[in-house]
Structure 1
Amino acid sequence: MTAAVEALAPLLPGLAGDFAQTAVLAGACVEWGGSPMALAGVLPKRASEAMMLNDLVPGCWAEAAPGRPLPEPVSASTKQLVQALVTLARPQGRPDKGDMTRIAMSWFDMEDWLKALITVLGDGSFRAAVPAAVMAELRERAAAVCGRSQLAAWVGQLAAVLDNERLVVLDPHARRGYALTMSGVGDNFQLHILLADRLIGDPGRGLLSGVRPDRSWVEAATGADPQLGPENPAIRRFRLFDGHGAYVYPEGVPADIEPLDGTRVLVLHPANGELGMGIGRVFRDMPPALVVDRVLESHEVDSWLSRIAPAVQKDFMATE
Protein backbone atom coordinates (compact mmCIF):
# COMPACT_ATOMS: atom_id res chain seq x y z
CA MET A 1 0.00 0.00 0.00
CA THR A 2 2.85 2.41 0.74
CA ALA A 3 4.36 1.68 -2.68
CA ALA A 4 0.99 2.42 -4.28
CA VAL A 5 0.74 5.76 -2.45
CA GLU A 6 4.28 6.64 -3.53
CA ALA A 7 3.41 5.81 -7.15
CA LEU A 8 0.20 7.86 -7.13
CA ALA A 9 1.53 10.95 -5.32
CA PRO A 10 3.49 12.50 -8.26
CA LEU A 11 0.41 12.30 -10.48
CA LEU A 12 -1.89 14.36 -8.30
CA PRO A 13 -0.85 17.97 -9.07
CA GLY A 14 -1.82 17.64 -12.73
CA LEU A 15 -5.17 15.92 -12.26
CA ALA A 16 -8.65 17.43 -12.28
CA GLY A 17 -12.27 16.47 -12.80
CA ASP A 18 -13.04 12.76 -12.56
CA PHE A 19 -9.33 12.01 -12.40
CA ALA A 20 -9.28 13.62 -8.94
CA GLN A 21 -10.65 10.30 -7.73
CA THR A 22 -7.04 9.14 -7.97
CA ALA A 23 -6.55 11.09 -4.73
CA VAL A 24 -9.41 9.14 -3.17
CA LEU A 25 -7.64 5.93 -4.20
CA ALA A 26 -4.44 7.16 -2.58
CA GLY A 27 -6.39 7.92 0.60
CA ALA A 28 -7.90 4.44 0.52
CA CYS A 29 -4.40 2.96 0.29
CA VAL A 30 -3.55 4.87 3.46
CA GLU A 31 -6.68 3.53 5.17
CA TRP A 32 -5.57 0.03 4.16
CA GLY A 33 -2.25 0.48 5.94
CA GLY A 34 -0.02 2.51 3.64
CA SER A 35 2.11 5.42 4.82
CA PRO A 36 0.67 8.83 3.88
CA MET A 37 4.02 10.61 3.92
CA ALA A 38 4.55 10.65 0.15
CA LEU A 39 1.40 12.79 -0.12
CA ALA A 40 2.58 15.49 2.29
CA GLY A 41 4.23 17.61 -0.39
CA VAL A 42 1.44 17.41 -2.95
CA LEU A 43 -2.05 16.64 -1.59
CA PRO A 44 -2.49 19.58 0.83
CA LYS A 45 -1.42 22.06 -1.86
CA ARG A 46 -3.65 20.48 -4.50
CA ALA A 47 -6.64 20.39 -2.14
CA SER A 48 -5.97 24.00 -1.17
CA GLU A 49 -5.92 24.98 -4.84
CA ALA A 50 -9.20 23.13 -5.42
CA MET A 51 -10.89 25.13 -2.65
CA MET A 52 -9.45 28.40 -3.96
CA LEU A 53 -10.72 27.66 -7.48
CA ASN A 54 -14.07 26.43 -6.20
CA ASP A 55 -14.51 29.76 -4.40
CA LEU A 56 -14.13 31.53 -7.75
CA VAL A 57 -16.80 29.52 -9.57
CA PRO A 58 -19.95 31.42 -8.49
CA GLY A 59 -18.46 34.78 -9.49
CA CYS A 60 -17.20 33.46 -12.82
CA TRP A 61 -20.53 31.82 -13.57
CA ALA A 62 -22.44 35.02 -12.76
CA GLU A 63 -20.24 36.85 -15.25
CA ALA A 64 -20.39 34.19 -17.95
CA ALA A 65 -24.06 33.24 -17.58
CA PRO A 66 -25.87 36.10 -15.78
CA GLY A 67 -29.24 35.19 -14.36
CA ARG A 68 -28.84 31.45 -14.88
CA PRO A 69 -28.60 29.07 -11.90
CA LEU A 70 -25.28 27.35 -11.30
CA PRO A 71 -25.18 23.73 -12.51
CA GLU A 72 -25.28 21.02 -9.88
CA PRO A 73 -21.78 19.82 -8.91
CA VAL A 74 -22.16 16.47 -10.71
CA SER A 75 -20.20 15.11 -13.66
CA ALA A 76 -23.17 15.38 -16.02
CA SER A 77 -22.99 19.19 -15.73
CA THR A 78 -19.27 19.44 -16.47
CA LYS A 79 -19.56 20.31 -20.15
CA GLN A 80 -22.10 23.08 -19.52
CA LEU A 81 -19.95 24.77 -16.89
CA VAL A 82 -16.69 24.43 -18.81
CA GLN A 83 -18.21 25.85 -21.99
CA ALA A 84 -19.58 28.85 -20.11
CA LEU A 85 -16.42 29.63 -18.15
CA VAL A 86 -13.96 29.32 -21.03
CA THR A 87 -15.71 32.29 -22.63
CA LEU A 88 -14.00 34.36 -19.93
CA ALA A 89 -10.54 33.25 -21.06
CA ARG A 90 -8.27 35.82 -22.65
CA PRO A 91 -7.07 35.10 -26.19
CA GLN A 92 -3.57 35.96 -25.04
CA GLY A 93 -2.51 36.05 -21.43
CA ARG A 94 -4.15 34.85 -18.23
CA PRO A 95 -6.59 33.43 -17.46
CA ASP A 96 -6.36 31.19 -20.51
CA LYS A 97 -8.68 28.32 -21.42
CA GLY A 98 -6.68 25.95 -19.26
CA ASP A 99 -7.13 28.21 -16.23
CA MET A 100 -10.86 28.53 -16.75
CA THR A 101 -11.25 24.80 -17.33
CA ARG A 102 -9.42 24.08 -14.07
CA ILE A 103 -11.69 26.55 -12.26
CA ALA A 104 -14.75 24.85 -13.74
CA MET A 105 -13.48 21.39 -12.83
CA SER A 106 -13.09 22.44 -9.20
CA TRP A 107 -16.88 22.68 -8.96
CA PHE A 108 -16.97 18.91 -9.45
CA ASP A 109 -13.70 17.61 -8.03
CA MET A 110 -13.11 19.61 -4.82
CA GLU A 111 -14.83 17.07 -2.60
CA ASP A 112 -12.58 14.26 -3.91
CA TRP A 113 -9.47 16.20 -2.92
CA LEU A 114 -10.96 16.95 0.48
CA LYS A 115 -11.98 13.34 1.16
CA ALA A 116 -8.39 12.23 0.62
CA LEU A 117 -6.98 15.08 2.68
CA ILE A 118 -9.26 14.34 5.64
CA THR A 119 -7.98 10.78 5.67
CA VAL A 120 -4.30 11.73 5.90
CA LEU A 121 -4.62 14.79 8.18
CA GLY A 122 -5.63 12.43 10.97
CA ASP A 123 -2.02 11.25 11.10
CA GLY A 124 0.19 13.30 13.43
CA SER A 125 3.37 12.62 11.46
CA PHE A 126 1.66 13.80 8.30
CA ARG A 127 0.47 17.02 9.95
CA ALA A 128 4.00 17.66 11.18
CA ALA A 129 5.34 17.26 7.63
CA VAL A 130 3.01 19.91 6.15
CA PRO A 131 4.52 23.43 6.33
CA ALA A 132 2.76 25.85 8.66
CA ALA A 133 2.10 28.22 5.75
CA VAL A 134 0.25 25.48 3.85
CA MET A 135 -1.82 24.66 6.94
CA ALA A 136 -2.72 28.34 7.32
CA GLU A 137 -3.72 28.46 3.66
CA LEU A 138 -5.91 25.38 4.09
CA ARG A 139 -7.70 27.02 7.02
CA GLU A 140 -8.27 30.24 5.08
CA ARG A 141 -9.53 28.56 1.93
CA ALA A 142 -11.66 26.08 3.83
CA ALA A 143 -13.36 28.98 5.60
CA ALA A 144 -14.25 30.49 2.21
CA VAL A 145 -16.16 27.42 0.96
CA CYS A 146 -17.29 25.66 4.15
CA GLY A 147 -20.75 27.16 3.77
CA ARG A 148 -21.41 24.74 0.92
CA SER A 149 -19.10 21.90 1.92
CA GLN A 150 -19.04 20.02 5.22
CA LEU A 151 -15.83 18.35 4.07
CA ALA A 152 -14.20 21.77 3.80
CA ALA A 153 -15.34 22.59 7.34
CA TRP A 154 -13.68 19.40 8.56
CA VAL A 155 -10.49 20.19 6.64
CA GLY A 156 -10.43 23.60 8.33
CA GLN A 157 -10.72 21.93 11.74
CA LEU A 158 -8.02 19.36 10.97
CA ALA A 159 -5.67 22.03 9.66
CA ALA A 160 -6.09 23.83 12.99
CA VAL A 161 -5.27 20.78 15.15
CA LEU A 162 -2.57 21.48 17.73
CA ASP A 163 0.26 19.02 18.27
CA ASN A 164 2.76 18.96 21.12
CA GLU A 165 0.96 22.03 22.46
CA ARG A 166 1.68 23.20 25.98
CA LEU A 167 -1.46 23.72 28.05
CA VAL A 168 -1.89 25.11 31.58
CA VAL A 169 -5.11 24.23 33.42
CA LEU A 170 -6.11 26.10 36.59
CA ASP A 171 -8.79 25.46 39.17
CA PRO A 172 -9.13 28.77 41.05
CA HIS A 173 -11.48 27.26 43.64
CA ALA A 174 -9.11 24.46 44.63
CA ARG A 175 -6.09 26.69 43.84
CA ARG A 176 -4.49 23.93 41.86
CA GLY A 177 -2.88 23.91 38.46
CA TYR A 178 -1.47 21.48 35.94
CA ALA A 179 0.95 21.54 33.04
CA LEU A 180 -0.18 19.32 30.17
CA THR A 181 0.84 18.54 26.60
CA MET A 182 -1.90 18.12 24.00
CA SER A 183 -1.87 16.59 20.51
CA GLY A 184 -4.53 15.49 18.06
CA VAL A 185 -7.61 16.78 19.91
CA GLY A 186 -10.30 17.53 17.33
CA ASP A 187 -12.75 19.69 19.27
CA ASN A 188 -13.33 21.21 22.68
CA PHE A 189 -15.94 18.70 23.82
CA GLN A 190 -13.41 15.92 23.29
CA LEU A 191 -11.00 18.07 25.29
CA HIS A 192 -13.61 18.34 28.09
CA ILE A 193 -13.81 14.55 28.36
CA LEU A 194 -10.05 14.05 28.32
CA LEU A 195 -9.43 16.79 30.88
CA ALA A 196 -11.97 15.29 33.27
CA ASP A 197 -10.35 11.89 32.86
CA ARG A 198 -6.84 13.20 33.49
CA LEU A 199 -7.55 15.66 36.31
CA ILE A 200 -10.39 14.26 38.44
CA GLY A 201 -9.22 11.77 41.02
CA ASP A 202 -7.59 11.50 44.42
CA PRO A 203 -6.97 14.97 45.91
CA GLY A 204 -4.23 13.40 48.00
CA ARG A 205 -2.31 12.85 44.76
CA GLY A 206 -2.81 16.44 43.68
CA LEU A 207 -5.89 15.77 41.55
CA LEU A 208 -9.31 17.42 41.65
CA SER A 209 -12.29 16.11 43.57
CA GLY A 210 -15.38 15.33 41.58
CA VAL A 211 -17.18 12.62 39.61
CA ARG A 212 -14.92 10.98 37.09
CA PRO A 213 -16.24 10.59 33.54
CA ASP A 214 -17.76 7.27 32.57
CA ARG A 215 -15.18 4.96 31.03
CA SER A 216 -17.24 4.60 27.86
CA TRP A 217 -17.03 8.36 27.32
CA VAL A 218 -13.24 8.31 27.58
CA GLU A 219 -13.03 5.36 25.20
CA ALA A 220 -15.28 7.16 22.70
CA ALA A 221 -12.99 10.20 22.93
CA THR A 222 -9.86 8.15 22.26
CA GLY A 223 -9.95 4.96 20.22
CA ALA A 224 -13.30 3.16 20.47
CA ASP A 225 -16.48 3.83 18.49
CA PRO A 226 -17.02 7.61 18.93
CA GLN A 227 -20.81 7.33 18.86
CA LEU A 228 -22.32 7.32 22.36
CA GLY A 229 -25.95 7.78 21.46
CA PRO A 230 -28.78 9.58 23.30
CA GLU A 231 -28.92 7.00 26.12
CA ASN A 232 -25.33 7.58 27.25
CA PRO A 233 -24.21 11.13 26.40
CA ALA A 234 -20.90 12.39 27.73
CA ILE A 235 -21.64 15.01 30.40
CA ARG A 236 -19.09 17.74 30.91
CA ARG A 237 -17.69 18.11 34.42
CA PHE A 238 -16.84 21.81 34.24
CA ARG A 239 -17.09 24.92 32.14
CA LEU A 240 -13.90 26.22 30.56
CA PHE A 241 -12.67 29.80 30.23
CA ASP A 242 -9.40 31.03 28.76
CA GLY A 243 -6.82 33.17 30.53
CA HIS A 244 -8.46 36.32 29.18
CA GLY A 245 -11.81 35.45 30.75
CA ALA A 246 -13.52 34.35 27.53
CA TYR A 247 -15.81 31.34 27.54
CA VAL A 248 -14.41 28.33 25.67
CA TYR A 249 -17.30 26.94 23.64
CA PRO A 250 -17.55 23.13 23.59
CA GLU A 251 -18.40 23.32 19.89
CA GLY A 252 -15.10 25.07 19.12
CA VAL A 253 -11.57 23.71 18.71
CA PRO A 254 -8.51 24.00 20.97
CA ALA A 255 -6.88 26.44 18.54
CA ASP A 256 -9.63 28.91 19.48
CA ILE A 257 -8.16 29.18 22.99
CA GLU A 258 -6.34 32.51 23.00
CA PRO A 259 -2.82 32.18 24.47
CA LEU A 260 -1.87 34.14 27.57
CA ASP A 261 1.80 35.14 27.64
CA GLY A 262 2.46 32.58 24.90
CA THR A 263 0.66 29.68 26.61
CA ARG A 264 -2.89 28.42 26.18
CA VAL A 265 -4.51 28.59 29.62
CA LEU A 266 -7.78 26.98 30.69
CA VAL A 267 -9.60 28.01 33.84
CA LEU A 268 -12.08 25.53 35.30
CA HIS A 269 -15.45 26.63 36.67
CA PRO A 270 -18.36 24.54 38.00
CA ALA A 271 -20.50 22.87 35.36
CA ASN A 272 -23.73 24.34 36.82
CA GLY A 273 -25.90 21.64 35.29
CA GLU A 274 -25.61 18.96 32.68
CA LEU A 275 -24.46 19.57 29.11
CA GLY A 276 -24.01 16.38 27.12
CA MET A 277 -22.79 15.24 23.73
CA GLY A 278 -23.60 12.00 21.94
CA ILE A 279 -20.22 11.73 20.26
CA GLY A 280 -16.82 11.37 21.88
CA ARG A 281 -14.70 12.66 19.03
CA VAL A 282 -15.28 14.19 15.62
CA PHE A 283 -12.41 12.51 13.76
CA ARG A 284 -12.57 8.76 14.21
CA ASP A 285 -9.08 8.03 12.88
CA MET A 286 -7.18 10.78 14.71
CA PRO A 287 -5.78 9.46 18.01
CA PRO A 288 -5.58 12.16 20.69
CA ALA A 289 -2.98 12.60 23.39
CA LEU A 290 -3.38 14.64 26.56
CA VAL A 291 -0.60 14.10 29.07
CA VAL A 292 -0.34 15.62 32.54
CA ASP A 293 3.33 16.54 32.69
CA ARG A 294 3.23 17.69 36.30
CA VAL A 295 1.17 19.28 39.04
CA LEU A 296 2.14 22.93 39.39
CA GLU A 297 3.77 24.16 42.56
CA SER A 298 1.67 26.51 44.68
CA HIS A 299 3.79 29.54 43.76
CA GLU A 300 3.31 28.75 40.07
CA VAL A 301 -0.44 28.50 40.56
CA ASP A 302 -0.45 31.83 42.37
CA SER A 303 1.55 33.41 39.55
CA TRP A 304 -0.86 32.19 36.87
CA LEU A 305 -3.95 33.12 38.89
CA SER A 306 -2.59 36.64 39.32
CA ARG A 307 -2.39 37.02 35.54
CA ILE A 308 -5.73 35.62 34.40
CA ALA A 309 -8.70 37.88 33.81
CA PRO A 310 -12.02 37.30 35.61
CA ALA A 311 -14.31 34.95 33.73
CA VAL A 312 -16.98 36.72 31.69
CA GLN A 313 -19.78 34.33 32.61
CA LYS A 314 -22.37 34.98 29.95
CA ASP A 315 -22.85 31.36 28.86
CA PHE A 316 -26.31 29.92 29.36
CA MET A 317 -25.23 27.89 32.40
CA ALA A 318 -23.72 30.82 34.23
CA THR A 319 -25.13 31.75 37.63
CA GLU A 320 -25.88 35.20 38.91
Structure 2
Amino acid sequence: MLCITASFLAGCTTTPATQIQAFGDSTKAITDKVDAVIGEYNQSALARIHTDLAATYNKQFANGLTSKTLEDVAQPIDDKTKRGFAMYRANRALGEYAKSLSALASAGSRADIDLATAKLYGAMSGINTQYRNMKSDNADLFNLDDFAGVAKVVAAIGSTIVEEKRNEAIKRIVTSADAKISLLCDTINKQLEDSGIHDGISASRQYVLSEEIRQYKGQVQKDTTLDWRRNEIKRLYELKKGVSESRLLVQNAQKAILAVKSAHGTLASELKKDKYSSEAIAMAIGRLRDLEKHYDNYETLLLECKKIEKDDKGILSCGDKP
Protein backbone atom coordinates (compact mmCIF):
# COMPACT_ATOMS: atom_id res chain seq x y z
CA MET A 1 0.00 0.00 0.00
CA LEU A 2 1.30 3.43 -0.90
CA CYS A 3 1.98 5.97 1.84
CA ILE A 4 0.02 9.20 1.38
CA THR A 5 1.31 11.78 3.88
CA ALA A 6 4.90 12.81 4.51
CA SER A 7 4.76 11.56 8.08
CA PHE A 8 3.27 8.24 6.97
CA LEU A 9 5.94 8.00 4.30
CA ALA A 10 8.64 8.57 6.91
CA GLY A 11 7.13 5.82 9.01
CA CYS A 12 7.08 3.41 6.08
CA THR A 13 10.62 3.98 4.90
CA THR A 14 12.60 4.70 8.04
CA THR A 15 13.04 3.20 11.47
CA PRO A 16 13.27 5.29 14.65
CA ALA A 17 16.97 4.50 14.88
CA THR A 18 17.50 5.78 11.33
CA GLN A 19 16.15 9.26 12.07
CA ILE A 20 17.96 9.53 15.41
CA GLN A 21 21.18 8.46 13.74
CA ALA A 22 20.62 10.92 10.88
CA PHE A 23 20.07 13.71 13.39
CA GLY A 24 23.31 12.86 15.19
CA ASP A 25 25.31 12.62 11.97
CA SER A 26 23.95 15.91 10.60
CA THR A 27 24.58 17.73 13.87
CA LYS A 28 28.15 16.43 14.02
CA ALA A 29 28.73 17.59 10.44
CA ILE A 30 27.45 21.07 11.30
CA THR A 31 29.67 21.38 14.38
CA ASP A 32 32.64 20.39 12.21
CA LYS A 33 31.80 23.33 9.95
CA VAL A 34 31.72 25.67 12.94
CA ASP A 35 35.15 24.37 13.99
CA ALA A 36 36.44 25.63 10.67
CA VAL A 37 35.77 29.25 11.67
CA ILE A 38 38.69 29.27 14.09
CA GLY A 39 40.74 27.41 11.51
CA GLU A 40 39.95 30.15 9.00
CA TYR A 41 41.04 32.80 11.48
CA ASN A 42 44.28 30.90 11.95
CA GLN A 43 44.91 30.59 8.20
CA SER A 44 44.03 34.22 7.45
CA ALA A 45 46.37 35.51 10.13
CA LEU A 46 49.15 33.24 8.87
CA ALA A 47 48.59 34.48 5.31
CA ARG A 48 49.04 38.03 6.59
CA ILE A 49 52.34 37.12 8.25
CA HIS A 50 53.59 35.31 5.14
CA THR A 51 52.62 38.24 2.93
CA ASP A 52 54.36 40.65 5.26
CA LEU A 53 57.56 38.60 5.11
CA ALA A 54 57.36 38.39 1.32
CA ALA A 55 56.92 42.16 1.08
CA THR A 56 59.73 42.86 3.56
CA TYR A 57 62.40 40.51 2.23
CA ASN A 58 62.34 41.74 -1.35
CA LYS A 59 65.06 42.78 -3.80
CA GLN A 60 68.06 44.15 -1.89
CA PHE A 61 66.56 43.01 1.42
CA ALA A 62 66.13 39.38 0.33
CA ASN A 63 69.41 38.29 1.93
CA GLY A 64 67.99 39.18 5.33
CA LEU A 65 65.61 36.20 5.20
CA THR A 66 66.92 33.27 7.25
CA SER A 67 65.57 29.99 8.57
CA LYS A 68 65.45 31.65 12.00
CA THR A 69 63.03 34.24 10.58
CA LEU A 70 60.68 31.48 9.48
CA GLU A 71 61.16 29.60 12.72
CA ASP A 72 59.91 32.62 14.64
CA VAL A 73 56.61 32.63 12.75
CA ALA A 74 54.17 31.48 15.40
CA GLN A 75 50.70 30.13 14.77
CA PRO A 76 48.25 32.95 15.62
CA ILE A 77 46.15 30.29 17.29
CA ASP A 78 48.39 27.25 17.61
CA ASP A 79 46.98 23.90 18.68
CA LYS A 80 47.63 24.54 22.35
CA THR A 81 46.05 27.99 22.30
CA LYS A 82 43.16 26.80 20.17
CA ARG A 83 42.43 24.05 22.69
CA GLY A 84 42.27 26.81 25.27
CA PHE A 85 39.34 28.42 23.51
CA ALA A 86 36.37 27.26 25.55
CA MET A 87 34.05 28.12 22.69
CA TYR A 88 35.97 25.87 20.33
CA ARG A 89 36.06 22.97 22.76
CA ALA A 90 32.41 23.41 23.74
CA ASN A 91 31.46 23.12 20.09
CA ARG A 92 33.59 19.99 19.78
CA ALA A 93 31.86 18.50 22.84
CA LEU A 94 28.49 19.29 21.28
CA GLY A 95 29.59 17.42 18.17
CA GLU A 96 30.70 14.45 20.25
CA TYR A 97 27.34 14.42 22.04
CA ALA A 98 25.59 14.21 18.67
CA LYS A 99 27.99 11.54 17.42
CA SER A 100 27.42 9.45 20.57
CA LEU A 101 23.66 9.74 20.17
CA SER A 102 23.99 8.50 16.61
CA ALA A 103 26.17 5.59 17.75
CA LEU A 104 23.68 4.64 20.45
CA ALA A 105 20.83 4.66 17.94
CA SER A 106 22.70 2.37 15.53
CA ALA A 107 24.48 0.11 18.06
CA GLY A 108 24.16 -3.54 17.12
CA SER A 109 25.53 -5.13 20.28
CA ARG A 110 25.84 -4.54 23.99
CA ALA A 111 29.52 -3.70 23.50
CA ASP A 112 28.56 -1.03 20.95
CA ILE A 113 26.04 0.43 23.39
CA ASP A 114 28.59 0.53 26.19
CA LEU A 115 31.10 2.27 23.93
CA ALA A 116 28.53 4.83 22.76
CA THR A 117 27.49 5.46 26.36
CA ALA A 118 31.09 5.97 27.48
CA LYS A 119 31.55 8.54 24.72
CA LEU A 120 28.28 10.19 25.72
CA TYR A 121 29.55 10.53 29.30
CA GLY A 122 32.74 12.07 27.93
CA ALA A 123 30.79 14.55 25.81
CA MET A 124 28.57 15.56 28.72
CA SER A 125 31.61 16.02 30.94
CA GLY A 126 33.32 18.07 28.23
CA ILE A 127 30.25 20.25 27.84
CA ASN A 128 30.29 20.90 31.60
CA THR A 129 33.95 21.91 31.61
CA GLN A 130 33.75 24.24 28.62
CA TYR A 131 30.48 25.78 29.75
CA ARG A 132 32.13 26.65 33.07
CA ASN A 133 35.07 28.16 31.19
CA MET A 134 32.83 30.24 28.94
CA LYS A 135 30.72 31.45 31.85
CA SER A 136 33.69 31.84 34.22
CA ASP A 137 31.81 30.23 37.08
CA ASN A 138 31.35 26.78 38.59
CA ALA A 139 27.90 26.10 37.17
CA ASP A 140 27.52 22.68 35.53
CA LEU A 141 24.95 21.97 32.86
CA PHE A 142 24.84 18.23 33.56
CA ASN A 143 24.80 17.09 37.20
CA LEU A 144 25.34 13.71 38.85
CA ASP A 145 21.65 12.89 38.55
CA ASP A 146 21.88 13.33 34.78
CA PHE A 147 24.79 10.90 34.56
CA ALA A 148 23.00 8.44 36.84
CA GLY A 149 19.85 8.75 34.75
CA VAL A 150 21.72 7.88 31.57
CA ALA A 151 23.32 4.87 33.25
CA LYS A 152 19.94 3.63 34.46
CA VAL A 153 18.10 3.82 31.13
CA VAL A 154 21.05 2.38 29.19
CA ALA A 155 21.33 -0.53 31.62
CA ALA A 156 17.63 -1.23 31.08
CA ILE A 157 18.27 -1.95 27.39
CA GLY A 158 19.75 -5.28 28.46
CA SER A 159 22.35 -7.56 26.91
CA THR A 160 19.97 -8.48 24.11
CA ILE A 161 18.99 -5.20 22.50
CA VAL A 162 15.27 -4.50 22.78
CA GLU A 163 14.33 -1.69 20.41
CA GLU A 164 11.58 -0.38 22.67
CA LYS A 165 13.99 -0.02 25.59
CA ARG A 166 16.64 1.57 23.38
CA ASN A 167 14.08 4.11 22.20
CA GLU A 168 13.10 4.85 25.79
CA ALA A 169 16.76 5.40 26.68
CA ILE A 170 17.25 7.81 23.79
CA LYS A 171 14.06 9.63 24.73
CA ARG A 172 15.23 10.07 28.32
CA ILE A 173 18.68 11.28 27.25
CA VAL A 174 17.47 13.78 24.64
CA THR A 175 14.54 15.23 26.59
CA SER A 176 16.52 15.68 29.80
CA ALA A 177 19.42 17.24 27.88
CA ASP A 178 17.39 19.59 25.69
CA ALA A 179 17.31 22.66 27.95
CA LYS A 180 21.04 22.28 28.58
CA ILE A 181 21.93 21.84 24.91
CA SER A 182 19.81 24.91 24.17
CA LEU A 183 21.69 26.96 26.76
CA LEU A 184 25.03 25.70 25.47
CA CYS A 185 24.15 26.67 21.88
CA ASP A 186 23.09 30.14 23.03
CA THR A 187 26.38 30.55 24.88
CA ILE A 188 28.48 29.44 21.88
CA ASN A 189 26.47 31.79 19.67
CA LYS A 190 27.20 34.72 21.98
CA GLN A 191 30.89 33.84 22.16
CA LEU A 192 31.05 33.80 18.36
CA GLU A 193 29.42 37.23 18.32
CA ASP A 194 31.71 38.72 20.96
CA SER A 195 34.99 36.97 20.11
CA GLY A 196 36.15 39.46 17.47
CA ILE A 197 37.20 36.62 15.18
CA HIS A 198 35.52 38.27 12.20
CA ASP A 199 37.56 41.44 12.77
CA GLY A 200 40.77 39.42 12.80
CA ILE A 201 39.85 37.58 9.61
CA SER A 202 38.85 40.74 7.73
CA ALA A 203 41.99 42.62 8.84
CA SER A 204 44.26 39.78 7.72
CA ARG A 205 42.48 39.37 4.40
CA GLN A 206 42.54 43.11 3.76
CA TYR A 207 46.28 43.29 4.42
CA VAL A 208 46.94 40.48 1.95
CA LEU A 209 44.72 42.16 -0.64
CA SER A 210 46.50 45.50 -0.25
CA GLU A 211 49.91 43.89 -0.74
CA GLU A 212 48.68 41.95 -3.77
CA ILE A 213 47.31 45.14 -5.35
CA ARG A 214 50.63 46.88 -4.71
CA GLN A 215 52.42 43.97 -6.36
CA TYR A 216 50.06 44.14 -9.34
CA LYS A 217 50.74 47.84 -9.83
CA GLY A 218 54.44 47.12 -9.94
CA GLN A 219 54.03 44.28 -12.42
CA VAL A 220 51.91 46.23 -14.91
CA GLN A 221 54.70 48.77 -15.32
CA LYS A 222 56.39 46.03 -17.34
CA ASP A 223 55.13 44.47 -20.54
CA THR A 224 52.14 42.28 -19.68
CA THR A 225 49.44 40.72 -21.80
CA LEU A 226 45.76 41.53 -21.58
CA ASP A 227 45.04 37.92 -20.58
CA TRP A 228 47.53 38.12 -17.71
CA ARG A 229 46.04 41.39 -16.45
CA ARG A 230 42.51 40.03 -16.75
CA ASN A 231 43.40 36.90 -14.78
CA GLU A 232 45.11 38.99 -12.11
CA ILE A 233 42.08 41.28 -11.81
CA LYS A 234 39.87 38.21 -11.38
CA ARG A 235 42.18 36.93 -8.66
CA LEU A 236 42.21 40.29 -6.88
CA TYR A 237 38.43 40.43 -7.14
CA GLU A 238 38.14 37.06 -5.38
CA LEU A 239 40.44 38.31 -2.62
CA LYS A 240 38.30 41.42 -2.24
CA LYS A 241 35.20 39.26 -2.14
CA GLY A 242 36.81 37.27 0.67
CA VAL A 243 37.35 40.48 2.63
CA SER A 244 33.73 41.52 2.13
CA GLU A 245 32.46 38.12 3.31
CA SER A 246 34.57 37.93 6.48
CA ARG A 247 31.68 38.79 8.78
CA LEU A 248 29.36 36.38 6.96
CA LEU A 249 31.76 33.54 7.77
CA VAL A 250 31.10 33.98 11.48
CA GLN A 251 27.40 34.70 10.99
CA ASN A 252 27.04 31.41 9.13
CA ALA A 253 28.61 29.65 12.11
CA GLN A 254 26.13 31.37 14.40
CA LYS A 255 23.27 30.37 12.13
CA ALA A 256 24.50 26.77 12.20
CA ILE A 257 24.68 26.61 16.00
CA LEU A 258 21.18 28.03 16.35
CA ALA A 259 19.95 25.50 13.77
CA VAL A 260 21.38 22.69 15.92
CA LYS A 261 19.57 24.16 18.93
CA SER A 262 16.29 24.25 17.01
CA ALA A 263 16.68 20.73 15.61
CA HIS A 264 17.49 19.28 19.03
CA GLY A 265 14.42 21.04 20.43
CA THR A 266 12.26 19.52 17.70
CA LEU A 267 13.69 16.06 18.37
CA ALA A 268 13.05 16.38 22.11
CA SER A 269 9.51 17.63 21.53
CA GLU A 270 8.68 14.70 19.24
CA LEU A 271 10.25 12.14 21.57
CA LYS A 272 8.16 13.44 24.46
CA LYS A 273 5.14 12.41 22.37
CA ASP A 274 6.78 9.01 21.76
CA LYS A 275 7.31 9.90 18.11
CA TYR A 276 10.66 8.39 17.23
CA SER A 277 10.15 8.85 13.50
CA SER A 278 8.07 11.78 12.28
CA GLU A 279 7.67 14.44 9.64
CA ALA A 280 8.88 17.11 12.08
CA ILE A 281 12.11 15.22 12.81
CA ALA A 282 12.63 14.58 9.10
CA MET A 283 12.19 18.29 8.34
CA ALA A 284 14.63 19.28 11.11
CA ILE A 285 17.22 16.86 9.72
CA GLY A 286 16.55 18.20 6.23
CA ARG A 287 17.25 21.76 7.36
CA LEU A 288 20.54 20.70 8.93
CA ARG A 289 21.58 18.84 5.79
CA ASP A 290 20.64 21.78 3.57
CA LEU A 291 22.62 24.14 5.80
CA GLU A 292 25.63 21.83 5.64
CA LYS A 293 25.36 21.55 1.86
CA HIS A 294 25.23 25.32 1.33
CA TYR A 295 27.36 26.28 4.32
CA ASP A 296 30.01 28.14 2.33
CA ASN A 297 27.50 29.78 0.00
CA TYR A 298 27.13 33.25 1.49
CA GLU A 299 24.70 34.27 -1.23
CA THR A 300 22.17 31.93 0.40
CA LEU A 301 22.62 33.73 3.72
CA LEU A 302 22.19 37.12 2.06
CA LEU A 303 19.13 36.00 0.09
CA GLU A 304 17.45 35.00 3.36
CA CYS A 305 18.49 38.26 5.03
CA LYS A 306 15.99 41.10 5.28
CA LYS A 307 18.51 43.71 6.39
CA ILE A 308 21.83 43.52 4.52
CA GLU A 309 24.43 45.90 5.92
CA LYS A 310 27.82 47.09 4.67
CA ASP A 311 30.29 49.02 6.82
CA ASP A 312 32.72 51.72 5.66
CA LYS A 313 35.30 49.03 4.85
CA GLY A 314 32.90 47.17 2.58
CA ILE A 315 32.33 44.29 5.03
CA LEU A 316 28.93 42.69 4.45
CA SER A 317 26.72 41.41 7.25
CA CYS A 318 23.14 40.42 7.90
CA GLY A 319 21.52 42.79 10.36
CA ASP A 320 18.59 40.48 11.12
CA LYS A 321 18.24 39.42 14.73
CA PRO A 322 18.43 35.63 15.13
Superposition TM-score, scaled by structure 1 size: 0.25
Between Structure 1 and Structure 2, whose CA radius of gyration is higher? 2
Answer 1 or 2: higher relative contact order, Cα 8 Å, separation at least 6: 2
The structure with the greater share of residues assigned to helix is 2
When you count strand as a share of all residues, which structure comes out higher?
Answer: 1
